[in-house]
Amino acid sequence: MVSEIVWHISQKNPKKPFFIPHNHITVLREPVQRILYFAIRSILLDITMSCTIIVGGFFGDEGKGKIVAHIACKDKPVIISRGGVGPNAGHTVQVGDREYGVRMVPSGFVYKEAKLCIGSGVLVDPRVLKYEVEMLDVKGRIFVDKRCGIITEDHIVRDKGSAHLSKKIGSTGSGCGPANSDRVMRISPQAKDVPELAEYLLDVPKAIDDELKQGRTVLLEGTQGFGISLYYGTYPFVTSKDTSASQIAADNGVGPTKIDEVIVVFKAYPTRVGEGPFSTEMTSEKSDSMGIQEFGTVTHRKRRVGGWDGGMARYSAMINGCTQAAITGIDRVDKSCFGVTDYGKLTKKAKDFLKKAEDDIGSPITLISTGPEMTQIIDLREEQV
């Protein structure tokens, strides 16, 4: 095993951490090998810059907000920057008894030492941003790239007024589709053209690059999920741009050689809002009987619920370049796992599910959410190092 690790180090760019190939992942289940593997990898991370992308592996609503918030508090990044489409995506973060739903501000806002950014690829609705800045009290540490596209009232009217978007596709009505269309036509305003955004403007790619050159940690937060990517999702029932990890890097102006980790978040029981195919979907009666009832953060529409989709998970991990996976909703697999923070206290049923999921994904599962609150999580990154 040691010789294999040394070989993998020699074959990789020394600036980046390494991962054992899929056919070697099983060795990570042996305690000594796992400790050795993650210890060496931790050393590499400590002496180099660290840029992590977090994206959704299914149709969105996977619990990315919680995972981002947890990693932000644990890893203490200097910048948390959001990529993705725009305010059509809502992330939920629960801290104690208080629940926050955010559509513009990065979910890592709970870590108060981080600078919060919105990358140039993202659409900004100034009204939504202003509301969240005041609600979350993040003025002075939230910044918008000057090249962000702007959502106007006209975009929202067109979105809601289109039978194709609102009825057939199931758009959220946030104006993102028409705004991206205008952006492609080169007629959409940019953030630098809006006076009320002047105090927030920043060259986000430059700010991120400056920190990475200093060896500091940066988190890039994705939105939506792989299944509704414009390129790879269930077209035409998709969002108005790509949602994969490479797109999130591009949205923030970060080149592929600067990415160290891609954490793909999967939900034990995937959900989907709106129209479109859902191969593992179960009836509402069945999901209700299982105690699974969820509603969208933005639209408040009831989410459709399905079973684990190993094939989709594997393909999503491939396209996203997954290096680690997070699983949320393990307490839905076995209710007795609710709130557990120690892997050893998970039930056999839960561990069997995680083993299958890891085999399907082809990358190690390092984060396991056991409930909605931010601290209800098992972080194997820390445990294994």
pLDDT tens digits for range 206-234:
999 999 999 999 999 999 999 999 999 99
Beta pairing partners, 373: 94
- Global pTM reads 0.86
- Residue 295's beta-bridge partner residues? 302
123: pLDDT strictly greater than 80 = yes
Bridge partners, 142 (sequence order): 116
- How far apart CA 101 and CA 132 sit, in angstroms, is 9
Question: Sorting pLDDT into bands at 50, 70 and 90, what band is 34?
Answer: low
Q: What is the pLDDT of residue 16?
A: 42
- Please report, for residues 228, 282, 292, the alpha-carbon distance to residue 287 in angstroms, rounded to integers and kept in the order given: 22, 7, 5
Buried b (16+ CB within 10 A) or exposed e, 79-101: bbbbbbbbbbbbbbbbeeeeebb
Q: Count the neighbouring beta carbons within 10 Å of the beta carbon of residue 330.
A: 28
Confidence class for position 13, pLDDT limits 50, 70, 90: very low
Please give, one letter per residue, the 3-state secondary structure of the chain: CHHHHHHHHHHCCCCCCCCCCHHHHHHHHCHHHHHHHHHHHHHHHHCCCEEEEEEECCCCCCCHHHHHHHHHHHHCCCEEEECCCCCCCCEEEEECCEEEEECCCCHHHHCCCCEEEECCCCEECHHHHHHHHHHHCCCCCEEEECCCEECCHHHHHHHHHCHHHHHHHCCCCCCHHHHHHHHHCCCCCEHHHCHHHHHHEECHHHHHHHHHHCCCEEEEECCCCHHHCCCCCCCCCCCCCCCCHHHHHHHCCCCHHHCCEEEEEEECCCEECCCCCCCCECCHHHHHHCCCCCECCCCCCECEEECCCHHHHHHHHHHHCCCEEEEECHHHHCHHHCCCCCHHHCCHHHHHHHHHHHHHHCCCEEEEECCCECCCEEEHHHHHC
Give me the pLDDT at residue 2, please: 53
Per-residue model confidence (pLDDT) at position 294: 80
pLDDT at 39 (0 to 100): 63
Catalytic residues: 61, 91
Q: Which whole number is the average pLDDT over 63-88?
A: 95
- Between the ranges 95-104, 181-190, 374-383, where is the mean pLDDT highest? 181-190
Q: Which of 54-63, 81-90, 94-103, 292-301 has the lowest mean pLDDT?
A: 292-301
Greatest mean pLDDT among 92-106, 166-180, 360-374: 360-374
Q: What is the pLDDT of residue 144?
A: 98
Domains of the chain (ranges plus CATH)?
Answer: 1-48 (no CATH), 49-384 (3.40.440.10)
Q: Residue 365: its pLDDT value, please?
A: 97
Two tokens, residue 73: 């508090």
